[in-house]
Amino acid sequence: MSLSNSAVLVGASTVTAILLATAATVTMGLFSENQMPVAGRNVIITGASQGMGKAVALLFAAQGANITIIARNQQKLDAAGEEIRAVITKNGSKYPDQKLVIISADLADPADAKRAVVESESQLGETEILWCCAGGANPGMFKDHSLDELHYGMNTNYWSAVYIAHATLNVMASRPPPPPKFPGQGNTQRRIIFTSSLAALCPVIGYSSYLGAKAGLRALTDCLRQECLLYDIGVHCCMPGGIESPGFEMENLTKPDLTKKIEETDVAQQPEEVAKALLEELQRGQVMPVPSFLARAARAGAIGPTPRVNAVIEVLLSWIAVIVFIFVRRDQDGIIMKERKLKGPVWKQK
Ligand SMILES: NC(=O)C1=CN([C@@H]2O[C@H](COP(=O)(O)OP(=O)(O)OC[C@H]3O[C@@H](n4cnc5c(N)ncnc54)[C@H](OP(=O)(O)O)[C@@H]3O)[C@@H](O)[C@H]2O)C=CC1
Ligand SMILES: CCCCCCCCCCCCCCCC(=O)[C@@H](N)CO
């Protein structure tokens, strides 16, 4: 076969593969059932007093869920509670008996995390979905972080999710799944959802006190997802990029310029947009939901053995992503090397 013939063959098969994949995406989108309906179901959302967690709670409220929101600061919780109640009122009689429970708890304390689950269940009933959104970054250089700061990063982002997931899983696994709330509402499997970060897929300078925890949540998800096949419970790990939240504003006050420069590639999204996109991904059955195209590309390049929805298109995308990653790394390291040249060796700086 001549070179031009094989080029045509490769071209034609690529086009066919893409067409097939597109057809599969469209039909799957049209005919697959909702993988995570929320109407009438009992949901715990942590970190729901502001930012993405609050946006998730508002969205769940609009779709008819019974909700428990958890965070530490009571005032902020009450303010978020008022917004959520307004949505519930707006639903009118569409979802009768829709409930909201507000719990102040420090989820980095295992006893508090367990108490929160017990309290939520005593008021709401059996938990069907847990979405851990509590967390936050304290950017800086690893060298300059105190060990307390490193511990704080782990407590806030890893243990705050692990303690409540452990307490919730133990009660969930002790009983069968509750029956669907509405006929034909979709797959009412129970779910545990973690919130990691795009930066766990493409780690960048300045997030050393944060990404151990976030990458840990990703590994935990893959491990726990397998274990939870035994109990018929789904486990997921969300990978959002920048979110314009109160926490984001705070971290930007101390964020190194290098981190800001490298992060520019990723355009920060509004919490509502992130919540909506992640819920849609969960409702399509994604184990590792993402809210943007950039995060989707990063996921394709770093997904490894995590299950994916629509394997064909994801594999095609992953081939492109692994190549793009080479240039992304070179670009990012280039920004840092430029700074090193400009400032000279760190041991000579005062
Ligand atoms: N903003 C961003 O750019 C990105 C954020 N993420 C992740 O998404 C999630 C949401 O982020 P964002 O919207 O910025 O959130 P915010 O930082 O704005 O809010 C964090 C929420 O978590 C609560 N929280 C923090 N620590 C604890 C704790 N120990 N116990 C209980 N509640 C706690 C806070 O309330 P209180 O302080 O009162 O306890 C608050 O409700 C986080 O996990 C974050 O790491 C991921 C990618 C990007
Ligand atoms: C195949 C191509 C992939 C390219 C990926 C490039 C990504 C670079 C930037 C990563 C930005 C991370 C933002 C999340 C920040 C975060 O988690 C904190 N703000 C939390 O508060």
Assess if residue 302 is contained within a domain.
Answer: no
Shortest CA distance to 170 belongs to which of 106, 236, 121? Answer: 121
Residues 21/309, Cβ–Cβ less than 8 Å: no
Average pLDDT over residues 64-86: 98
pTM above 0.90, yes or no: yes
Using only C-alpha atoms, the chain has a radius of gyration, in whole angstroms, of 22
Flag whether pLDDT at 18 surpasses 50: yes
Assess if residue 282 is contained within a domain.
Answer: yes
Query: pLDDT, tens digit, for every residue of 272-303?
Result: 999 999 999 999 999 999 999 999 999 999 99
| pLDDT the model gives residue 333 | 98
Give residue 337's identity as a one-letter amino acid code.
Answer: M
Ligand 2 atom nearest 324 alpha carbon: 1
Query: pLDDT, tens digit, for every residue of 240-269?
Result: 999 999 999 999 999 999 999 999 999 999
Q: What's the sign of the alpha-carbon dihedral 126, 196, 152, 74?
A: negative
Residue nearest to atom 14 of ligand 2 (CA): 241
Shortest CA distance to 108 belongs to which of 44, 48, 47? Answer: 47
Residues 47/133, Cβ–Cβ less than 8 Å: yes
Flag whether pLDDT at 13 surpasses 90: no
Flag whether pLDDT at 141 surpasses 90: yes
The phi, psi pair for 330, rounded to 5°, reads: -60, -40
* Residues annotated as part of the active site: 210, 214
Flag whether pLDDT at 326 surpasses 80: yes
Reduced 3-state DSSP string for 202-246: CCCCCECCCHHHHHHHHHHHHHHHHHHHCCCEEEEEECCCCECCH
Between the CA of 270 and the centroid of ligand 1 the distance, in Å, is 14
Assess if residue 159 is contained within a domain.
Answer: yes
Flag whether pLDDT at 15 surpasses 90: no
Residues 176/126, Cβ–Cβ less than 8 Å: no
Flag whether pLDDT at 31 surpasses 60: no
Determine which of 15-19, 215-219, 229-233, 275-279 has the lowest per-residue pLDDT on average: 15-19
Beta bridge partners of residue 193, listed in sequence order: 131, 236
What does the DSSP assignment read for 160-205?
HHHHHHHHHHHHHTTSPPPPPSSTT-----EEEEEE--HHHHS--T
Query: pLDDT, tens digit, for every residue of 226-247?
Result: 999 999 999 999 999 999 999 9
Give residue 303's identity as a one-letter amino acid code.
Answer: I
Between the CA of 67 and the centroid of ligand 1 the distance, in Å, is 18
E strands along 8-159, which residues?
42-46, 66-71, 100-104, 129-132
Ligand 1 atom nearest 48 alpha carbon: 41
Residue nearest to atom 48 of ligand 1 (CA): 242
Choose one of 44, 45, 50 to mutate for the ligand 1 pocket test, by most ligand atoms within 8 angstroms of C-beta. Answer: 50
The Cα 277–Cα 15 span in angstroms is 28
Assess if residue 229 is contained within a domain.
Answer: yes
Residue nearest to atom 19 of ligand 2 (CA): 242
Flag whether pLDDT at 201 surpasses 90: yes
> What's the complex ipTM?
0.99
Assess if residue 47 is contained within a domain.
Answer: yes
Q: Which domain holds residue 177?
A: 33-292
The Cα 271–Cα 287 span in angstroms is 20
Between the CA of 290 and the centroid of ligand 2 the distance, in Å, is 12
Between the CA of 144 and the centroid of ligand 1 the distance, in Å, is 23
What does the DSSP assignment read for 279-314?
HHHHHTT-SS--SSHHHHHHHHHH-TTS--SSHHHH
For the CA of 154, the nearest ligand = 1
Distance set, CA 287 to CA 5, 44, 213, 308, 332 (Å): 41, 19, 18, 7, 28
Between the CA of 51 and the centroid of ligand 1 the distance, in Å, is 7
Number of structural domains the chain divides into? 1
| pLDDT the model gives residue 32 | 86
Which of the four pLDDT bands, split at 50, 70 and 90, describes residue 88? very high
Ligand 1 atom nearest 198 alpha carbon: 47
| pLDDT the model gives residue 350 | 73
Q: What mean pLDDT, rounded, does the chain reach?
A: 93
| pLDDT the model gives residue 1 | 43
Determine which of 40-44, 240-244, 308-312 has the lowest per-residue pLDDT on average: 308-312
Residues 164/103, Cβ–Cβ less than 8 Å: no
Between the CA of 276 and the centroid of ligand 2 the distance, in Å, is 19
Assess if residue 298 is contained within a domain.
Answer: no
Q: Which residue has the higher pLDDT, 15 or 340?
A: 340
For the CA of 255, the nearest ligand = 2
Q: Which of the 8 DSSP states describes residue 274?
A: H
Assess if residue 332 is contained within a domain.
Answer: no
C-beta of 64 in contact with ligand 1 (< 6 A): no
**278, containing H or E segment:** helix 271-283
Assess if residue 304 is contained within a domain.
Answer: no
| Secondary structure class of 114 (helix, strand, coil) | helix
Flag whether pLDDT at 11 surpasses 80: no
Flag whether pLDDT at 2 surpasses 80: no
Query: pLDDT, tens digit, for every residue of 59-72?
Result: 999 999 999 999 99
C-beta of 73 in contact with ligand 1 (< 6 A): yes
Ligand 2 cavity residues, CB under 6 Å? 136-137, 197-199, 202, 204, 241-242, 247-248, 251, 262-263, 265-266, 294, 297-298, 301, 321, 324-325, 328
Flag whether pLDDT at 25 surpasses 60: no
C-beta of 81 in contact with ligand 1 (< 6 A): no
**For the domain that residue 173 is a member of, what is the CATH number?**
3.40.50.720
The Cα 161–Cα 213 span in angstroms is 10
The Cα 122–Cα 104 span in angstroms is 15
Which of the four pLDDT bands, split at 50, 70 and 90, describes residue 3? very low
